[in-house]
Amino acid sequence: MPTHRVALIFGGQSTEHEISIISARAIANHIDTEAYELYPIYVGHDGAWFKGETAQKVLDLDMPAMLANTSADTIRERLREISFSDPRNRFLFDFSEEGIDVALPIIHGSTGEDGKIQGLLDMFSVPYTGCGVHASAMTMDKETTKICAEHAGLHIAPYTTIRKLRYQQDPQQVVSVILEEFTLPFFVKPASQGSSIGITKVHRPEELAAALEKAFMVDTKVLIEKTIEGREIEVAVLGNDSPVASVPGEVEPGGDFYDFTDKYINGKASLHIPARLPEEVLQKVSTEALKAYRALECRGMSRVDFFIEHATGKIILNEINTVPGFTGISMYPMMMDASGIDFSQLIDRLLQLALEKTLS
C-alpha cells in the first residue's frame, strides 16, 4: 500500500509546456506505485490548475508524436478542449484536503523553475523536489548565475547584458556597441529561458537586430555572450547537504548549436555517456559541477552544463538547470542511470530528499 501521495505538477505557462507534459508522463510511467500514489495536477497555458480526469487526459497524450506531426496551434487547441471538458476538475489550492504529502513539480522554464511554484508550495507547507525559491530564482537568471559562479572561482564566458527598454530607446546604438565589443560569431540569449528558447548564434552583423528582437519577445533582459569553441559537457547532480555528481555526459549538436529542435524534435544531436574525455578531466568536471551546485545553493537536483574550450582546455560554466528534462532522451536521468541510479530509483531518491529537506 502506498505510503505517500505525490502531486505531480506539470504543464505551466512557459514555452516548454509540452516538454513538461512529456517529462511528467515519463515520471508517471516509472514511479514506484507500491510506495507512492500519484496525484496529477495539470497547469494550463493560461495558468489554470486542473486535477483528476482532466489532468490524467493531458498526461496520457502522445506529446512526442504531436510535436513531430502537429502544429503548435492545434496542440494548444487540443489542450484547451481537454481543460474545459469538465469544470469540476479545475483545481483550487487546498493541498491538505487532497491529502498531498509531497509535490514533484516538473514545470520547465518560467513559473516552474524561477522560484514561483516553489514559493507557492512553501506557503502551503508542502515538501517538494528540487531547489528552493532562492536557488531557483538565481539559476533561472543567466547573469546572476554567472556572477555567483565567477565569485566562487568558476570560469564563465565573457558577456554583457542589454535591457529591452535601452534597446527600444536606441536600437542602432545598441547594435553598434555590441558589434564593437564582441567578435563574430557570438550568442544572443534571453536571460531567463531554458531549452535554448529564443537563442540565436549571430554570424553576420546584419543578423544582430533580428536576434535581439527574437530574444526580447520572450524576456526583458538579454545576454550577449562570446562563442566558446569547445565540447558541450553536462553533469547531473543529486542531493541536499551532501550532493553527488553523475558521470559527465557529452552533447554533440546536430546543427550550429544544441537548440530546442535538436533536443526534442529532429533528434539529430548525438549523446555520449560518459563524455569522451580522459578520466582525470571527467573527475575535474564533476568537481566543478559540485562547486557550481553549492555556489548557487542548489538542493535536490540540478543539471550543470559546461563547455571545455578547445584552445585552452578550460572548463567553462554555461548554465544550471534546476528542473531538467525527464523525457526519454533527457540527459539528466540518462547520466544518473549510467552512474547506477535508474529512473525509478531516481524518482524515489528525489522524493526522499524533498521529505528530508522538511525535516532538516
pLDDT given for residue 88 in this prediction: 62
Whole-angstrom distance, CA of residue 328 vs CA of residue 354: 23
**Residue (of 186, 174, 168, 135) closest to 296 by Cα position:** 135
Binding residues for Mg(2+): 305, 319, 321
Residue 130 has pLDDT above 80, yes or no: yes
Peptide bond connecting 274 to the previous residue in cis, omega within 30 degrees of 0 = yes
Q: Out of 3.30.1490.20, 3.40.50.2300, 3.40.50.2000, 3.30.380.10, select the CATH number for domain 159-226.
A: 3.30.1490.20
Task: Flag whether the pTM goes above 0.85.
Answer: yes
Distance CA 187, CA 199 (A): 7
- Residue carrying the nine cell digits 532522451: 329
Give the CATH number of domain 139-156+228-359; options: 3.20.20.70, 3.30.930.10, 3.30.470.20, 3.30.230.70.
3.30.470.20
Higher pLDDT, 97 or 218: 218
Q: Domain locations in the chain?
A: 4-128, 139-156+228-359, 159-226
Is residue 360 predicted with pLDDT exceeding 70?
Answer: no
Is the Cα torsion angle 214, 70, 323, 85 positive or negative in sign?
A: positive
Q: Which residues contact 207 (CB under 8 A, 6 or more apart)?
A: 200
pLDDT category at 358 given cuts 50, 70, 90 is low
* Under 8 Å between Cβ of 122 and 133: yes
* pLDDT for 91: 63
Of 116-130, 184-198, 331-345, the least confident: 184-198
Q: Residue 118: how many CA atoms within 13 Å on its side-chain side?
A: 24
Which residues line the annotated binding site? 179-234, 305, 319, 321
Summarised one tens digit per residue, pLDDT across range 21-34 is: 999 999 999 999 99
pLDDT at 269: 77
Q: Does position 52 have pLDDT exceeding 90, yes or no?
A: no
pLDDT one-digit tens code per residue, 201-236: 999 999 999 999 999 998 999 999 999 999 999 999
On the 0-12 / 13-18 / 19+ scale of CB atoms within 10 A, 177 is middle
What span, in angstroms and rounded, lies between the C-alpha atoms of 125 and 128?
Answer: 9
Beta bridge partner(s), residue 305:
234, 319
Q: What's the confidence (pLDDT) of residue 72?
A: 87
| Spatial separation of the C-alpha atoms in residues 16 and 112, rounded to whole Å | 10
**pLDDT per position as a tens digit, 241-290:** 999 999 999 999 865 654 555 555 556 678 999 999 999 999 999 999 99
Where is pLDDT greater, at 257 or 140? 140
Q: Which residues are annotated as a binding site for ATP?
A: 179-234
What is the sign of the dihedral through the CA atoms of 142, 144, 310 and 289? negative
Q: Taking a C-beta distance cutoff of 8 angstroms, is the pair 32, 344 a contact?
A: yes
Are the CB atoms for 357 and 127 separated by under 8 Å? yes
186-190 vs 200-202, strand pairing mode: antiparallel
Mapped onto helix, strand or coil, the DSSP state of residue 360 is: coil
pLDDT tens per residue, range 75-93: 989 988 887 776 666 665 6
CA gap 215, 44 in Å, rounded = 24
Instruction: Tell me which residue of 51, 47, 131 sits closest to 99, measured CA to CA.
Output: 51
Q: Is the peptide bond before 185 cis (omega within 30 degrees of 0)?
A: yes
End-to-end CA distance of the chain: 27
Confidence of residue 298 (pLDDT cuts 50, 70, 90): very high
**Residue 196 binned pLDDT confidence (cut-offs 50, 70, 90):** confident
Q: Which fold has domain 4-128?
A: Rossmann fold (3.40.50)
